[in-house]
Amino acid sequence: ARCVSKSAPRHSVAAPIRQNCGDDAFFLARHPRSQVLVAGIADGVSSWSKQGVDPALFAWELMVHCEAAVLTAAASAEPAAVLTEGYEATVRDGGNLMGSSTACIASLDSRSGRLCVANLGDSGAVLVREGRTRMLETKE
């Protein structure tokens, strides 16, 4: 998982670290058995800091585990499956990790052009094609 540094310059992507990254984290990965590219972003809930909890840690751990789910050859690259496995691994491996996060995972099959999105919380995705935008619909 990666993050954008909280300090200047903010445009560069930091190495896989947990500090100095705001409350957000993301990953980009290619499923090893297909031509599916997967991207995920998590926005840690900043109000956890009032309880003495670093809100970035949960978002970072969630994206680390989602990326690992994509890179596991047996795992599906479907966004909902990636998010579910990433969350379950975060809970399983996180010990006493506290926090919460929004999350948006998208997969794009480079052969078929099929785009799939899973969204949790008030995150979202917008498809921009030929100068037109369309909000992607979510299914409960």
Q: Which DSSP symbol is given to 130?
A: T
Q: What is the pLDDT of residues 79-120, one digit of tens each?
A: 999 999 999 999 998 777 888 999 999 999 989 989 999 999
Average pLDDT, stretch 48-57?
84
Strand segments, DSSP code E, in 9-100 are 24-30, 36-44
Average pLDDT, stretch 39-59?
87
Measured CA to CA, the distance from residue 24 to residue 58 in angstroms comes to: 9
Measured CA to CA, the distance from residue 107 to residue 117 in angstroms comes to: 7
Q: Which secondary-structure segment (H or E) carries 106?
A: strand 101-109
48 touches 100 (CB < 8 A): yes
> What is the share, in percent, of the chain residues with pLDDT greater than 90?
36
Residue 6 — pLDDT band, cuts 50, 70, 90?
low
Going from N- to C-terminal start, the domains of the chain cover: 24-136
Which of 3.90.1200.10, 3.60.40.10, 3.40.228.10, 3.30.465.10 is the CATH number of 24-136? 3.60.40.10
Does residue 73 register a pLDDT over 80? Answer: no
Measured CA to CA, the distance from residue 24 to residue 46 in angstroms comes to: 10
Q: What is the pLDDT of residues 53-70, one digit of tens each?
A: 888 888 888 998 999 999
